[in-house]
Amino acid sequence: MNDTTTIPILPVLSAAGLVKSFGGVVAVNEAAIEVVPGSITGLIGPNGAGKTTLFNLLSNFIHPDRGRVIFDGEPIQNLPPHEITQRGMVRTFQVARVLSRLSVLENMLLAAQQQTGENFWSTWFLGGRIAKEEREARDRAMEILASIGLVEKAQDYAGGLSGGQRKLLEIARALMTRPKLILLDEPAAGVNPTLIHQICEYIGDRNRQGMSFLIIEHNMDVIMSLCDRVYVLAEGSNLAVGTPSEIQTNPNVLEAYLGQ
């Protein structure tokens, strides 16, 4: 991969030669992707192009047949998913998954990393430290919930949230892990236009504070307004890469989307 980026810094995430087949179907075929720190990188492609599978390969929810994923300078393709999250790369799901019978606040608290209280023995002997960590995590969770507009719902069951609010909670929860990079799988899917606008603004805000994003999205307005670079995937392989305006005028991309 020899891309045109002139910034001489290492990508926070780079993957190359990723292959995954299910039986005879090659879902991802020699795909490659790079995310520059502090950027919002988009990933688009027609239905069935393998975008979500590529996400699963990056976060190792599905183990790749071949290929290599480097995050923050270290190979992660053989790490279990939870360790990848612990290293600072967190993912969300295409259909928002919330923990229904836990409160919104509990959903947030769960996401905090390196909690002393999550160790069985510590729960017995380190009560004071756990209480202190819980207070801090709570404050931080309420802060994030306030910024994303869910603070009123903090004590409600997450199962009672609307589709759009679930998307917001997923993003908030991902932020709670203090990540270096967030992989968002269709943050605007099934969300009303007002809320889409709000989600986009929020992602933009966080990005200006230094957070990197990799976003799968079908909504072109979202991609065009947010992304610095866009990768196009078709039939499991890279089709094109460039700025949003370059992609929009790329004949290959138009062909992949609309047919000849």
Partner 1 sequence: MPNLQVNLATLAHRDLGPLGMNRYGSCPLLRYDFNTDSPPLPLRSMVGYLVSLIVLTAIYALFSLGLNLHWGFTGLINFGHAAFLAIGAYTTVLLSLAGVPIGLAALAGGALAALLGLAIGVSTLRLREDYLAIVTIGVSELIRLMALNEEWLTKGSFGVQGYDLPLADFRPTVATRIGMIAILGAIAALSGWRLWQWMVRRLRGVDRAQLGQTALVLAGYVASLVVLFSGIGMTSRALKLANTLPGGVLILLLLGAIVAVGWLYGWIARRLIIPKLPHWEAGAVLLSTIALSAFGFWIFGVSAVALYNYRENPSRNGLMFLALITVAVTFWALERLVRSPWGRVLKAIREDEQVAKALGKNVFAYKLQSLMIGGFIAGWRGVSGLAVEYGISAQFRDANHL
Beta pairing class for 25-35 and 229-234: unpaired
Kindly state whether residue 167 participates in binding partner 1, applying the rule CB under 8 A.
Answer: no
The amino acid that residue 201 corresponds to is: E
Per CB under 8 A, the list member of 39, 59, 165, 212 interacting with partner 1 is 59
Tell me the window of 2-10, 82-90, 141-149, 246-254 that interacts with partner 1 (CB under 8 A): 82-90
Q: Nearest approach, Cβ of 96 to partner 1 (angstroms)?
A: 10
Q: How far is the CB of 252 from partner 1 (least distance, A)?
A: 33
**Would you count residue 86 as binding partner 1 (CB under 8 A)?**
yes
**Which parts of 94-113 interact with partner 1 (CB under 8 A)?**
97-102, 106, 109-111, 113
136 binds partner 1 (CB under 8 A): no
Going residue by residue from 171 to 210, which x/- string records binding to partner 1, judged by CB under 8 A? --x---x---------------------------------
Q: How many residues make contact with partner 1 (CB under 8 A)?
A: 34
Exposure of 174 in the CB half-sphere (CA atoms within 13 A): 27
- Long-range (24+ apart) CB contacts under 8 A made by 80-88 are 84/59, 84/60, 85/59, 85/113, 85/177, 85/179, 86/113, 86/114, 88/177, 88/178, 88/179, 88/180, 88/181
CB of 85 to partner 1, least distance (A): 4
Using rule CB under 8 A, residue 128 touches partner 1: no
Draw the binding track, 6-25, toward partner 1 (x: CB under 8 A; -: no contact): --------------------
Long-range contacts from 60-67, C-beta under 8 angstroms, 24+ separation:
60/84, 61/91, 62/20, 64/18, 64/19, 64/20, 64/28, 65/19, 65/20, 65/21, 66/17, 66/18, 66/19, 67/15, 67/16, 67/17, 67/18, 67/19, 67/30, 67/31
When asked if residue 144 is in the footprint of partner 1 (CB under 8 A), the reply is no
Task: Examine residue 82 and tell whether it contacts partner 1 (CB under 8 A).
Answer: yes
Torsion sign, CA atoms 110, 108, 128, 132: positive
Which residues would be at the binding site for partner 1 (CB under 8 A)? 59, 61, 80-83, 85-86, 90-93, 97-102, 106, 109-111, 113, 115-120, 123, 130, 134, 173, 177
